[in-house]
């Protein structure tokens, strides 16, 4: 939910009446199986949202509204970091509307809200909209919420969930000067606009934080936490058992690193000797497998 979730209010305009505001929580993913697994645990309604681009995989949304949405937020709010402010605002709004009483006319229709109540609900709606927007919303929110001392540690389950949502597990291939064999290296990255959360993860699991250009000029500045070479093995030992969406990518990375440990590369003077063909073919095969799994488009 911190990675690919949406916590907000839906504003429903009514003709000749005041607008209504309802809680809406949703999680988006192209992996239907993981959404169904979540649905079996905490309910929700599944929706097919189609493809963002013609060549991409179809995407799905698991949606909760009103009381069901409040129930889900109540269960997950102690673990939220990136969307903790949205969660708190939704729960406060839900308590407010539960404490009030709506009047109806003789036909059973809800009577219009008072001007004061409309302003209150519209204020919460706009606040959540600001928190959820992808573009900058002012200097105070540029790097997202600060992490409190009570959230100083992050569990392996939380990191796995964020990697499943916004992480990338891959094998890179580069050509090295004066070497006939290409170089294959493992790499894991986690992208987010909230630098404080990435710093909290970095303190426990290592990695290097780098700036990441925003996909669009009007979007928030983003950051990337990157693990490479020696830091990947310890990270996977902690989080792999909790991965769902990217579990197969993690298994391929483990196979790759095991093969690297058991393969000796000789030298030709000061330079490394070319690797045997079988070794290169094995590494290229793993790189292509993980590339296919990471592909956004429909697999043929």
Can 5-132 and 151-294 be said to share one CATH topology? yes
Count CA within 13 A, CB hemisphere, residue 114. 7
Q: Classify 151-294 by CATH class.
A: alpha beta
Helix axes 156-166, 230-239, angle to 10 degrees: 110
Q: 245-263 as b/e, with b when 16 or more CB fall inside 10 Å?
A: bbeebbbbbbbbbeeeeee
Q: State what percent of residues in the chain have pLDDT above 70.
A: 86
The string of pLDDT tens digits covering residues 74-86 is 999 999 999 999 9
Q: Helix, strand or coil for residue 229?
A: coil
Least confident of 30-34, 69-73, 262-266: 262-266
Does the pLDDT value for residue 165 go beyond 90? yes
CA distance 7 to 25: 5
pLDDT, average across residues 34-55: 90
d(CA 85, CA 140): 13
> Minimal CA–CA distance to 60: which of 45, 71, 80, 73?
45
CATH fold for the domain made of 5-132: Endonuclease I-creI (3.10.28)
> Could you tell me the pTM of the whole model?
0.82
| Cα distances (angstroms) measured from residue 183 to each of 75, 231, 269, 295 | 46, 18, 19, 22
Token pair recorded at residue 239? 């989080």
Mean pLDDT of 248-266: 89
Q: Where in the chain are the domains? A: 5-132, 151-294
């Amino acid at each position: 939910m911190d990675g690919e979730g949406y916590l907000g209010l839906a504003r429903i305009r009514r003709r000749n009446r005041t607008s209504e505001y309802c809680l809406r929580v949703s999680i988006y993913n192209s992996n239907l199986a993981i959404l169904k697994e979540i649905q079996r645990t905490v309910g929700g309604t599944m929706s097919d949202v189609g493809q963002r681009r013609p060549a991409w995989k179809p995407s799905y949304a698991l949606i909760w509204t009103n009381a069901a949405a409040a129930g889900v937020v109540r269960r997950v709010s102690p673990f939220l970091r990136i969307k903790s402010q949205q969660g708190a605002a939704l729960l406060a709004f839900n308590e407010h509307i539960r404490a009030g009483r709506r009047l109806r006319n003789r036909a059973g229709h809800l009577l219009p809200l008072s001007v004061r109540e409309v302003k209150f609900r519209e204020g919460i709606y706009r606040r959540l909209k600001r928190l959820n927007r992808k573009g900058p919303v002012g200097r105070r929110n540029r790097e997202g919420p600060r992490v409190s001392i009570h959230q100083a540690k992050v569990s392996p389950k939380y990191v796995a969930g964020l990697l499943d949502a916004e992480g990338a597990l891959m094998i890179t291939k580069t050509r090295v000067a004066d070497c006939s064999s290409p170089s294959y290296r493992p790499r894991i990255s986690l992208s987010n606009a909230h630098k404080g959360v990435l710093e909290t993860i970095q303190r426990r699991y290592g990695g290097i934080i780098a700036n990441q250009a925003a996909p669009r000029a009007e979007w928030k500045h983003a950051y990337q936490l990157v693990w490479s070479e020696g830091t990947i093995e310890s990270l996977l030992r902690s989080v792999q058992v909790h991965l769902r969406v990217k579990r197969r990518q993690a298994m391929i990375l483990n196979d790759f690193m095991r093969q690297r440990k058991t393969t000796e590369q000789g030298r030709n003077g000061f330079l490394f000797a070319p690797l045997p063909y079988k070794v290169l073919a094995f590494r290229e095969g793993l790189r292509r497998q993980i590339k296919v799994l990471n592909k956004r488009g429909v697999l043929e």
